[in-house]
Amino acid sequence: MLNLSLKKLSQALEKKEFTSVELTQFFLNRVKKLNPSLNAFITVDEAKSMAMAEKSDQLIQAGKKTMLTGIPIAQKDIFCSEGWKTTCGSKMLENFISPYDSTVIHKFNDIGAVNLGKTNMDEFAMGSSNETSYFGPVRNPWDLNCVPGGSSGGSAAAVAARLAPAATGTDTGGSIRQPASLCGFTGLKPTYGLVSRYGMIAFASSLDQAGPMAISAEDCALMLDVMTGHDEKDSTSLDRKKENYSNFLDKKIDGLRIGIPKEFFEDGLNSDVQKVIQEALRQYEKLGAKIIDISLPNNHLAIPAYYVIAPAEASSNLSRYDGVRYGYRTKEYDDLMDMYFKTRQEGFGDEVKRRILIGTYVLSAGYFDAYYLKAQKIRRLISNDFKLAYEKCDIIMGPSAPSVAFKSGEKQEDPLAMYMQDIFTISTNLAGLPAMSIPAGFINELPVGLQLIGNHFEETKILNAAHIYQKNTDWHLKSPKGID
């Protein structure tokens, strides 16, 4: 069970080699054993998970099985799940039990997948190391002294350590791909609007996107088949024909034009990481792809633009946490305004406060045009760079992160150094493009991720390229020592 793909687990369930109850119990036992050292899960409810597994077995027995029926999936604690604690990694929502399901959770429940538990994350998805969580930092299974990346670090550690066959994550500026790179598995951020954001607690509404996190591209395609689709409850959900992403995985990539942005290989990229990425590109050439040099001239502006736009949206989205309707409320206060101040002061962590302050500042009178409006103009320039690039190439490749996993606490006192961890991922969120990270090698026994970026709605193209690479390499099959 431990290293089987989602497809093989599904086939085994269909052949009745084991039941969903047995499979779910197997992974729950692994969570009990390994989570104390990893801190990957915030909430585990064995009774709820086992009840779901029993219902899944009934569906399988009745011949109503789909590909992921009976499969345990770890859910990032940013997705509202009826009857489950949904904390978003914050003291502000420490005891919040959701009264409804997010669309992503509903879709998995509807096909009989099992909710294995809610995974740890940076508070309100704000962070690149999973060290800002109110519930403590997550540890990287490859080296417990290192961070797993963030904000989806709990899901990342769960997949890498085989605490779950797969997990959900969200990506606002790289929060699926960066931890996928640092923990050595496959993570995909879809085109903006392809997966509903309804019931997904908002950080930056024009950037947030949910996606799958699993061992392989094939597994991610199977999850994406479930997660996508128009949702009337989400005004940003795209009304377009639903695709079957797992149908195109084995298409040959002869003649595939791979664009390599020169800006991805300049200052800021670790030289050893660069060597791993270049070796991966040589592998693609052996498989028949063509390497084309391209330029994304405004890529260096992505981080400053992002850290104006995202905090601005966060300051608006987080204004609802005031202690009045739900969530944490300070115990002692003099009047309503004092309650607001103390609730937010006590309920939010330092990184969240930092971003709220930045966002409020750039939206204030006298600064809106100078910062927020200019950042939105830069966002358009970045998007235009990608449009021009795709006239020359089919997909774009480069590193997912500038380095391998760094030591816990190493960058906590330097927010700018932490923000630079997303230097290669943020631009795709600003442009709303699909992108994924796949394992491409190791440096000192720590994983390195290769990033694949597609044009809008071309998830099939990057999944196909990733799958063919993974059929000819075994980096994605490597697992950390001591997890057996």
- The DSSP code for 369 is I
d(CA 125, CA 173): 10
* Distance from the Cα of residue 419 to its chain's centroid: 16
C-alpha R_g of the chain = 21
Q: What is the phi/psi pair of residue 322, to 5°?
A: -120, 5
Catalytic residue among 65, 76, 118, 411: 76
Is the distance from CB of 108 to CB of 226 less than 8 angstroms? yes
d(CA 364, CA 316): 12
Is the distance from CB of 102 to CB of 115 less than 8 angstroms? no
Residue reference for tokens 């269909």: 14
Catalytic residue among 49, 81, 175, 408: 175
* Distance from the Cα of residue 118 to its chain's centroid: 14
Indicate the helix (H) or strand (E) that contains 118.
strand 114-119
Catalytic residue among 151, 216, 400, 437: 151
For residue 193, give both structure tokens.
């609007």
- 3-state DSSP call for residue 354? helix
Is the distance from CB of 120 to CB of 164 less than 8 angstroms? no
d(CA 429, CA 442): 26
d(CA 167, CA 159): 7
Indicate the helix (H) or strand (E) that contains 9.
helix 6-14
- Can 175 be counted among the known catalytic residues? yes
- Can 7 be counted among the known catalytic residues? no
Indicate the helix (H) or strand (E) that contains 362.
helix 350-362
Is the distance from CB of 259 to CB of 224 less than 8 angstroms? no
Is the distance from CB of 309 to CB of 207 less than 8 angstroms? yes
Beta strand pairing call for 446-453 and 435-443: antiparallel
d(CA 162, CA 152): 16
How far does the chain reach from its first CA to its final CA, in angstroms? 11
- The DSSP code for 264 is G
For residue 249, give both structure tokens.
């995985």
CA distances for 326 relative to 71, 335, 343, angstroms: 33, 18, 11
Indicate the helix (H) or strand (E) that contains 261.
strand 257-261
d(CA 449, CA 88): 26
DSSP 296-315: -TTGGGHHHHHHHHHHHHHH
- Can 76 be counted among the known catalytic residues? yes
Q: What positions carry a catalytic annotation?
A: 76, 151, 175
